A and B are shown apart, each in its own frame.
Chain A
Amino acid sequence: MSTTQSISIPTSKMKSFLSGALAVMPLTIAVIPWGILAGSFALEIGLTAVESQAMSAIIFAGSAQLVALGMIKAGIGFSSILITTLLITSRHLLYAMAMRSQISPLPLKWRLGLGFLLTDELFAISNQAHGGDTPAQYQFDRWYALGGGLTFYIGWNIATLLGIVAGQSIDNLGELGLDFAIAATFIAIVVPTVKKPSILVCVLVSLILAVVCAVFAIQAGLLIAAISGMAAGMAYAKLTNEGIFDTDTDTPCADIAPTKEDTL
Chain B
Amino acid sequence: MTWLIIISMAAVVFVSRHLLLEPKIPIRLSKNTLTFLSYSAPAVLTAILAPIVFVPEGELAISLYNPYLTCALVATVLAYITRNTLLTTVLSMGLFFFLY
Contacts and interface: CB of A to CB of B under 8 A. Distances in A.
A257 B3 CA distance: 40
A115 interface: yes
A251 interface: yes
A203 B100 contact: no
Interface string A202-238: 1100111111011101000110011101110110010
Given A61-B13, A183-B72, A202-B39, A51 B88 contact: no
A234 B27 CA distance: 21
Interface in B45-100: 45-55, 58-60, 67-68, 71-72, 75-76, 78-80, 83-86, 88-90, 92-93, 96-97, 100
A55 B52 contact: no
Interface in B1-22: 1-10, 12-14, 16-22
Interface residues of A, number: 100
A86 B36 contact: no
A72 interface: yes
Given A186-B48, A230-B40, A256 B68 contact: no
A180 B52 contact: yes
Contact of A251 (B22, B38, B48, B59): B38
Interface in A227-254: 227, 229-231, 233-234, 237, 244, 251-253
A63 interface: yes
A237 B76 CA distance: 24
Contacts of A203: 42-43, 46
Interface in A172-204: 176-177, 179-194, 198-199, 202-203
- Chain B: interface secondary structure? helix
A183 B75 contact: yes
Contacts, number: 287
B34 A229 contact: no
B45 A186 contact: yes
B44 A92 contact: no
A206 B85 contact: no
B76 to A, nearest CB: 6
Given A181-B93, A262-B27, A96 B6 contact: no
Given A92-B17, A187-B75, A234-B32, 20 more contacts: A26-B85, A26-B86, A61-B13, A67-B48, A82-B8, A91-B37, A97-B27, A100-B20, A114-B21, A116-B14, A180-B96, A188-B79, A191-B83, A192-B80, A198-B39, A202-B46, A225-B47, A252-B41, A262-B27, A263-B34
